[in-house]
Every structure is written in C-alpha cells, then in structure tokens.
C-alpha cells in the first residue's frame, strides 16, 4: 500500500489518510479490538508498550504507554471514547504526556477516525484537532506521522492473514 498521506487542513489540525487492502470489517477490528491495537501500535523499533489498556465503548477509557528501551524515556496517550458508529466512525479525546524531567505538560486533542470501504479496499482518515497551532506543530515535530505509518504497515500484515 502507499504510505499515509499527511495534510494540515488548518493551523490546528493534522489529517492522516491511509488505504488498506482489506474490507472495512477487517480494518475496523484492528482499530477496535484491544489485542489487535496492542499488536500494531508499537511505534519505532526499540520501543515497547508496557501499558495497553483499551475499553472500546462510548465512555470507555484507553491508555497506551510507550518506552524507549535504550534510554528509558516514556510517553503516554490516554483518553475516552466520545462517539462510536460501527464500521464508520470513532471520536475520542486524547491526551499526551511526556515522562521527561521538567515536562509534566499534558497536550490535548480530539481524534476523529472515519472508515470507508470502496471496492474491497478500506480508506481510514484520522483527523487530529489540537488546541493551538503550537501544539499541532509540536506534535508533528515528534515524528508521529512516521510512527503511525509504521503501525499501519503492521495493520497491512494483520489484515492480509
């Protein structure tokens, strides 16, 4: 599959669009079943995910904590599911934390994922809305979209099985 396309439709948003060569049911499962999420959302090589909690229901919470095994640095994503429209749309609050000295800041965003199948291929669009242009730019500077594509490559393998 082609790598994810990244756009910045406004000063506070990032849009990541990616197609998967599988029906929407298969792709949906990788985003909504806890054991599947924990298999693909690992980030770059050398990172682990010691915490992967996922209660997929409206009002349910999730937490993912990532650790760089070389230097011990950690960061986390946690939030709550706001809306779920099966096989079509997920809206969730998301907060990011960095576990580094002197940075206890929590960065907040709203993430909307849409799923659309066309000719046996599923298009997933992730729209991330940040509170400010500075937060959006800081998120992009982390290399998050490259990490997302690494995870999407694992999804390609999972849905091919």
Give the total number of structural domains in the chain: 1
What pLDDT sits at residue 21? 96
Q: What digits encode the pLDDT tens for the residues 41-96?
A: 987 788 889 999 999 999 999 999 989 899 888 888 999 999 999 999 999 999 98
Domain of residue 75 covers 5-160
pLDDT at 134 over 50: yes
Q: Give the containing element (helix H, strand E) for 60.
A: none
Report the C-alpha gap between 122 and 97 in whole angstroms: 31
What CATH number does residue 127 fall under?
3.30.530.20
């Amino acid at each position: 599959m082609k790598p994810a396309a990244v756009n910045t439709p406004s000063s506070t948003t990032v849009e990541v669009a990616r197609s998967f060569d599988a029906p929407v049911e298969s792709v949906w499962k990788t985003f909504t079943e806890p054991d599947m999420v924990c298999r693909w959302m690992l980030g770059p090589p050398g990172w682990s995910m010691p915490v992967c909690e996922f209660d997929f229901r409206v009002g349910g919470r999730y937490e993912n904590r990532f650790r760089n095994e070389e230097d011990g640095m950690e960061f986390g994503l946690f939030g709550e599911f706001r809306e779920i429209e099966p096989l079509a749309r997920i809206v969730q609050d998301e907060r990011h934390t960095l576990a580094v000295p002197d940075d206890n800041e929590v960065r907040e965003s709203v993430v909307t994922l849409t799923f659309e199948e066309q000719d046996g291929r599923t298009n997933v669009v992730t729209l991330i809305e940040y509170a400010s242009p500075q937060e959006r730019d800081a998120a992009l500077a982390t290399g998050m979209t490259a990490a997302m594509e690494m995870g999407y490559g694992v999804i390609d393998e999972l849905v091919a099985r």
